[in-house]
């Protein structure tokens, strides 16, 4: 009864895992404690209590599914525990506790893998994700989180002989305190995201071409960053850099951004200054960290013919080399007033052609691998109102296949 109540409390209050609002319930700790103390059948009964969850906004059908899933996972974990030599019951001393560690580990792994398999099957049946879109690195991190939280179940079982139900409080209270602290951190991160969103909205209001562009560049940049093995904090920073890479357009006259036809040399110079304008705008936002370099240098080229500083090769910051590929790819695969979106394969071929001259070959190869594995669904861009940008090709400075038209004023 106590373990079932503990399960229900944990299931109703999921524990946050990261700032992107991913969460998991540590209720399975109670299920795994039941595996050790009471056996497979009791573990299944404890898991089925999920149907009574009071988590806000959880439909009945999901509660029923969760109850069935947890019951099945709990029973399978119990079977694995006994098959690997685990003895059901309250461990009375250290000598009785130590032999339970290996069977418990087998039970925890069984629970986690079956849970992942059932969730993956559900997502595929619902059409939300394909096999190629599963991020195995993220799944590996989630698996490690499962194993870490699973130890709470073993600790509850180990303490049960001495303090009975108080064991649950002793083990899980620090976890809930940590959850509260992380909630405060999450609120701060949401404030950061709101700041970024406001800046992006301002840019998209000023320049029709950028509508949705910043978000897609951010997504593609994250794909590259994860493919080349960037750490979690740097991936978060490059997500911000992708969102804000064109924020400097706020410092470019609107008449230049929306001009029909070729640009004058002065107007083109104003366009080339937008990375520096972007740095000026975001310089005071201290949480952007390495994102500054990506915003400032994303139009540099590997051959040194880019702007604003003409950096070449390894002189170009890594973030900028990532964003350059993502930026060009989205430009090519998005609708324009003068052409439709290019097919993904055509855009990837253009990236290959530009590798070593315009783009970093490492970033190009990483992005191609990520797209081949996860796929890419170009979003049809909202086109500007009639007459705003009838000849937008003249100023599409992100598309490597469309040279910018500049006319001399002399």
Segment (H or E) for 406: strand 406-407
DSSP string, 237-266: HHHHHHHHTTGGGGGS-HHHHT--SPEEHH
310: left (phi > 0), else alpha (psi -120 to 50), else beta? left
Domains and CATH numbers, the chain: 2-185 (1.10.1760), 207-407 (1.10.3210.10)
**Residue 176 confidence (pLDDT):** 67
257 has which bridge partners?
Answer: none
**Residue 202 confidence (pLDDT):** 82
Segment (H or E) for 216: helix 213-227
Distance (Å, whole) CA 381 – CA 389:
14
Distance (Å, whole) CA 348 – CA 368:
7
DSSP string, 15-34: EE-STT--EE--THHHHHHH
**Residue 145 confidence (pLDDT):** 75
Listed in sequence order, the DSSP H helices in 127-165 are: 136-163
**pLDDT digit string (tens) for 196-226?**
888 888 887 776 666 788 889 999 999 999 9
Q: What is the torsion angle, in degrees rounded to the nearest 10, for the CA atoms of residue 201, residue 322, residue 391 and residue 203? A: 10
Comparing C-alpha atoms, which of 139, 129, 173, 138 is closest to residue 155? 173
Six token digits for residue 222: 């994250």
- C-alpha distances (whole Å) from 321 to each of 272, 289, 296, 388 are 17, 16, 11, 32
Distance (Å, whole) CA 164 – CA 114:
29
Q: What pTM did the predictor assign?
A: 0.61
SS3 410: coil
Give the N- to C-terminal CA distance of the chain in Å, as an integer: 87
Question: What secondary structure letter does DSSP report for 16?
Answer: E
CA angle at residue 111 from 109 to 116, to 5 degrees? Answer: 95
Yes or no: say if 308 and 281 are a contact pair by the CB < 8 Å rule: no
Distance (Å, whole) CA 196 – CA 203:
11
**Residue 135 confidence (pLDDT):** 56
How many other CB atoms sit within 10 Å of the CB of residue 174?
Answer: 10
Yes or no: say if 149 and 172 are a contact pair by the CB < 8 Å rule: no
Low-confidence stretches of the chain (pLDDT beneath 50): 17-22, 131-133, 382, 385-394, 406-410
Chain centroid to Cα 351, Å, comes to: 24
Q: What is the torsion angle, in degrees rounded to the nearest 10, for the CA atoms of residue 249, residue 252, residue 255 and residue 259? A: -60
Question: What secondary structure letter does DSSP report for 24?
Answer: E
SS3 101: helix
Token pair 């849970």 is found at 115
Distance (Å, whole) CA 137 – CA 142:
9
- φ, ψ dihedrals at 32, nearest 5°: -70, -35
- φ, ψ dihedrals at 346, nearest 5°: -65, -45
- φ, ψ dihedrals at 181, nearest 5°: -60, -40
Yes or no: say if 295 and 279 are a contact pair by the CB < 8 Å rule: yes
CB-based burial of residue 286 (10 Å sphere; 0-12 exposed, 13-18 middle, 19+ buried)? exposed
Comparing C-alpha atoms, which of 264, 299, 265, 259 is closest to residue 279? 299
**Residue 393 confidence (pLDDT):** 44
**Residue 90 confidence (pLDDT):** 77
Yes or no: say if 287 and 192 are a contact pair by the CB < 8 Å rule: yes
């Amino acid at each position: 009864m106590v373990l079932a109540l503990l399960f229900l409390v944990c299931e109703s209050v999921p524990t946050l895992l990261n700032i992107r609002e991913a969460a998991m319930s540590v209720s399975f700790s109670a299920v795994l404690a039941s595996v050790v103390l009471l056996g497979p059948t009791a573990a299944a009964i404890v898991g089925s209590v999920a149907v009574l969850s009071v988590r806000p906004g959880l439909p009945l059908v999901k509660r029923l599914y969760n109850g069935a899933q947890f019951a099945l996972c709990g029973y399978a974990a119990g079977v694995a525990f006994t098959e690997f030599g685990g003895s059901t019951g309250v461990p009375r001393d250290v000598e009785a506790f130590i032999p339970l560690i290996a069977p418990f580990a087998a039970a925890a792994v069984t629970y986690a893998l079956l849970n992942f398999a059932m969730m993956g099957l559900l997502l595929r049946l619902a059409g939300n994700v394909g096999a190629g879109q599963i991020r195995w690195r993220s799944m590996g991190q989630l698996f490690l989180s499962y194993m870490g939280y699973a130890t709470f179940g073993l600790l509850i079982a180990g303490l049960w002989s001495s303090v009975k139900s108080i064991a649950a409080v002793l083990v899980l209270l620090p976890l809930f305190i940590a959850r509260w602290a992380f909630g405060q951190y999450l609120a701060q991160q949401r404030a950061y995201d709101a700041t970024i969103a406001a800046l992006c909205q301002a840019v998209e209001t000023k320049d029709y071409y950028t509508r949705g562009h910043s978000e897609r560049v951010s997504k593609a940049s994250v794909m590259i960053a994860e493919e080349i093995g960037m750490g979690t904090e740097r991936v978060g920073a490059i997500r911000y850099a992708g969102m804000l890479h064109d924020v400097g357009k706020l410092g470019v006259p609107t008449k230049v951004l929306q001009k029909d036809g070729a640009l004058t040399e002065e107007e083109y110079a104003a366009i080339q200054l937008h990375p520096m304008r972007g740095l000026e705008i975001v310089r005071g936002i201290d949480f952007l960290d390495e994102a500054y370099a990506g915003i400032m240098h994303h139009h540099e080229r590997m051959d040194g013919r880019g702007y604003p500083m003409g950096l070449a090769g390894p002189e170009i910051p890594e973030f900028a080399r990532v964003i350059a590929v993502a930026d060009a790819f989205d430009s090519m695969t998005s609708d324009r007033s003068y052409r439709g979106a290019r097919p993904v394969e055509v855009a990837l071929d253009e990236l290959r052609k530009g590798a070593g001259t315009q783009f970093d070959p490492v970033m190009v190869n990483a992005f191609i691998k990520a797209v081949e594995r996860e796929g890419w669904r170009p979003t049809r861009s909202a086109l500007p109102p009639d007459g705003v940008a009838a000849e937008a090709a003249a100023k599409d400075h992100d598309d490597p296949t469309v040279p910018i038209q500049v006319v001399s004023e002399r």
